[in-house]
A and B are shown apart, each in its own frame.
Chain A
């Protein structure tokens, strides 16, 4: 695929905006799950756009713009981690494995039924923040952003086999976190006991 060629700077900016701006909401959503405030997320998205603009001529295939943008955003987010919130307290993985095991091996169906009405926005976001970043990223890119496995592999720079296992592991960990924390939440404890909440835009 040839490089993008634009005869004038205005053409270039128009082409760039047409390709990038439609992804702004999604990029902001991904960023906001990783920053302390919505303002930090907006800054990260703006930085992403400016870097993408600087590198626009290197984008060979407009069809891969989305993966390219998330790649840049992830890089922006990782570099500015000192001004971003640390990811919420991570639950011990071995503990989560046990919880997951009890979910699928248990005799009753009741855990699922209980979970069904708990899967609201706040619960899901808190749970995403409680599992390791690599797993959360794979699951979010697929289930929220609609990426294929190949696109995820391209975005995170990992082989597709790694994406497969991150998806599998990520969903299991998520289910376990929700089940584990669900007991606290069901008792009326605030969702945010050390877990970052989604900043609300006014």
Chain B
């Protein structure tokens, strides 16, 4: 039986069927609609007239009514108090959403194939990533407080839709920060991955919230550093898959530049990656990330200070 091609419930059935069997076939296909009270009165009357004479359709009606009634009494699980709590705290940690420019998909690849194509790229092309797609930051010892914004060798991060998305989110951060006073633990619970705030004497944690990309949650921690805003995005593996070039970087720290003055640092963490971005220098970002006080800070939790921006 094919699905009805028409988009509406028939008001009445044709009169001119010669053969009772044809009539039966059509009516049999409408019995569920009849039982559910979704058939208009005139058509329902015609079904009832048929039922008087057709034992088979009468049995069908009894069968479907019995099933529907039983399903209606089917109980289900009750959402536990713990689930209610979990959802409320996840909501509390989530920001009031800011419209974000959707990242563009690569041209010529659409639909279901996208993910697999990207995974294929991630598996097959890490060398290309290092060699050509991206210019890796020259390896050298960190020089804290060295170059001013815009100086030094610019480092390009290649096609990385995740970074496009995060950059757009960064640029949308005007006005009050979302998630001020939110609890790091609440965000960590919502996120389900490691979330370790950076600890450095020159960093003040100001706000913590969750945002999303490709329908998955991303954690965000905003710091104040010498009057400037820095944001660390905690990106779970599921989101990272959308940027194979980042996956391909393995455990290396990737540094890059976006939107002229925006610098960013990407490194892997358990279950995902951290992206630290701000209008400062790469050396500064690197120094803040690798502060010695980071050692032993796993699981550290701090409430952000509620200082005005």
Binding site for B on A (CB under 8 A): 9, 12-13, 16-17, 21, 24-26, 28-29, 32, 38, 41-42, 45-47, 49-51, 53-57, 75-76, 79, 103-105, 112, 115-116, 119, 121, 124-125, 139-140, 142-144, 146, 148-149, 159-162, 164-169, 171-172, 174-175, 198, 201
Contacts and interface: CB of A to CB of B under 8 A. Distances in A.
A175 B87 CA distance: 37
Interface of B: 1-9, 29-33, 36, 38, 56, 59-60, 62-64, 66-68, 70-72, 74-80, 83-84, 86-88, 90-92, 94, 96-97, 190, 210, 212, 215, 217
10 contacts: A12-B96, A21-B84, A50-B91, A76-B215, A115-B66, A149-B38, A165-B2, A168-B30, A169-B1, A171-B68
A124 B67 CA distance: 9
A164 B32 contact: yes
B65 to A, nearest CB: 10
A24 B84 contact: yes
Given A46-B90, A79-B215, 18 more contacts: A24-B79, A24-B83, A24-B87, A25-B76, A38-B77, A42-B83, A55-B97, A76-B215, A104-B56, A119-B66, A146-B72, A159-B4, A161-B6, A164-B38, A168-B30, A168-B33, A171-B63, A171-B67
A141 to B, nearest CB: 11
B33 A164 contact: yes
A139 B71 contact: yes
Nearest to A159: B7
A160 B7 contact: yes
A50 B66 contact: no
Contacts of A41: 77
A116 B80 CA distance: 32
B70 to A, nearest CB: 4
A28 B83 CA distance: 10
Contact of A57 (B60, B74, B91, B97): B97
A77 to B, nearest CB: 12
A51 B210 CA distance: 11
A139 B67 CA distance: 10
B95 to A, nearest CB: 8
B220 to A, nearest CB: 14
Contacts of B77: 25, 28-29, 32, 38, 41, 198, 201
Interface centre among B4, B9, B56, B88 (most CB of A within 10 A): B4
Contacts of A32: 76-77
Contacts of B67: 119, 143, 171, 174-175
Nearest to A75: B215
B7 A45 contact: no
Given A159-B7, A168-B30, A168-B33, A124 B71 contact: yes
A180 B186 CA distance: 49
A74 to B, nearest CB: 13
A29 to B, nearest CB: 3
A53 B94 contact: yes
B190 A116 contact: no
B83 A46 contact: yes
